[in-house]
Amino acid sequence: MKALKQLIPVLLILVILMSACAAPAASTPGQPANDATEAPQTTDEPLPAGFTVTDGMGRTVAFDKTPSRIVLVGKSLFMVADAIYLFPEAGKNIIAIGATNQGSGNFIPLIDETYATKTVLDSNASVEDIAAMQPDLVITKSLNAETYGTPLEQLGVPVIYLDFESAEQYQRDLATLGQIFNNPAKAEELAAWFQGKVEAVSGVVAGLSEDQKPKTLLIYYSEKEGAISFNVPPASWMQTYMVETAGGTPVWLDTNPGKGWATVNIEQIAAWNPDVVLIVSYFKPVSEVVDLLKADEQWQLLDAVKNNKMYGFPTDAYSWDQPDPRWALGLQWVATKLHPDLFADLDILAETKAFYLDLYGMNEAAFTEKIEPILIGDVK
């Protein structure tokens, strides 16, 4: 019995020591308790079953998993496609794509190494052709609802409408894509990038008086069916937004309250007598158009031409005036033309390179080989 009593304290000490060894080590502030478990695991797992997305038309669309057989289709597709490809998941999840060639180039093959493996839909592709591909999502613009959206939904194909027509819609539609690709962090990063470019311009011109804002004319030059026409955008379009945000006064606002380009004649342009003219051309090289107009006697009477302030909107695969992601470049470019003194340090060529390298993951060699040779307009 005496030996047992002597043994009990020893056993108690052993129990205490074993308990201490088994307890997890306390972590110091700012340091993980266990190096093997502290790092969050990143996976490609889909969003929880039953997640829903609200699209550009305010419709709620339900999904069981992250879409992986996406088809892009419809009129003005390139504007949406270029925005979708800002997400790294786009290339592997898109199986078919409609025409994205506006006439001056086709951008998607320059950034998607798998483009050759995708089905390229022509303008005559039927909804039955699209449904036969068994897509789990079709993305198109709202204007294509009657042509593609509603008929596809009647065939049981989920459809999401995106627009990307304004700076506000960019914020909204990027968030929607973040849900679709299960990458909300990328959506937030992109939204912040675009908003940052807007604020970098609007903040500089915020204090300008109306007299300090040059009278600005932005025209789309067309030779459709052999007839030359000059066209101005509606007040709600991205082109008007660029001029106003960059500190200019759009002279055409009262002329076009509608929803599409409005044709104006040279007499109206002469009456406006703008301080700055910005030329947009989608099919004829814009530099040729600028030279053509500068040589015209009627255009030579304008103050903008007299003062050498007629500029061709930059274009690479597409013109920078449109609500394609390049609108951020277009906005900065307009600012340098309207207020060169205020934006003397803004290097458009450097911004262009950063745009393709940072947003689309191009390397410098690819930018030099693929983008610089097709970049035209008054970029410098």
pLDDT surpassing 80 at residue 236: yes
| Same domain flag for 169 and 230 | no
Task: Look at residue 187 and tell me whether its pLDDT is greater than 60.
Answer: yes
Tell me the average pLDDT of the chain: 87
- The pLDDT of residue 104: 57
Residue 360 located in a structural domain: yes
What confidence score (pLDDT) does residue 125 get?
Answer: 86
For residues 242 and 368, membership in a common domain is answered with: yes
Per-residue pLDDT, averaged over 286-300, amounts to 97
231: domain CATH number? 3.40.50.1980
* 166 φψ region: left (φ > 0), alpha (ψ -120 to 50), beta (else): beta
55 and 182 part of one domain: yes
Residue 95 token pair = 């199986």
Q: What is the pLDDT of residue 123?
A: 77
pLDDT per position as a tens digit, 72-124: 999 888 889 999 999 999 999 999 998 776 655 689 999 999 999 999 998 77
Cβ neighbours for 82, distance < 8 A, ≥ 6 positions apart: 100, 107, 108, 318, 324, 325, 326
Q: What is the pLDDT of residue 32?
A: 32
Residues 61 and 150 both lie in one domain: yes
Tell whether 253 and 334 lie within a shared domain: yes
Mean pLDDT within 220-248: 95
C-beta neighbour count of 292 within 10 angstroms: 15
CB 286, CB 276: distance < 8 Å: no
pLDDT over 50 at 188, yes or no: yes
Does 226 share its domain with 367? yes
Among 167, 194, 221, the domain-final residue is 194
Q: Is residue 25 part of a domain?
A: no
**200-207 long-range CB contacts below 8 Å, 24 or more apart?**
200/332, 201/245, 201/246, 201/247, 201/331, 201/332, 201/335, 201/343, 202/245, 204/247, 204/335, 204/339, 204/342, 204/343, 205/245, 205/246, 205/247, 205/335, 205/339, 205/342
Same structural domain, 264 and 297: yes
Same domain, 268 and 180: no
Residue at 204 is within a domain: no
Indicate if 111 and 168 belong to the same structural domain: yes
For residue 61, what are the domain limits? 51-194
Q: Total domain count for the chain?
A: 2
% of the chain beyond a pLDDT of 70? 86
- Mean of the pLDDT values across residues 157-172? 94
Q: Considering the entire predicted model, what is its pTM?
A: 0.85
Q: Are residues 93 and 225 in the same domain?
A: no
- For 30-75, how does the pLDDT look when each residue is reduced to its tens digit (9 = 90+)? 333 333 323 333 334 444 556 899 999 999 999 999 999 999 999 8
Q: Specify whether the backbone of 320 is left (phi greater than 0), alpha (psi in -120 to 50) or beta.
A: alpha
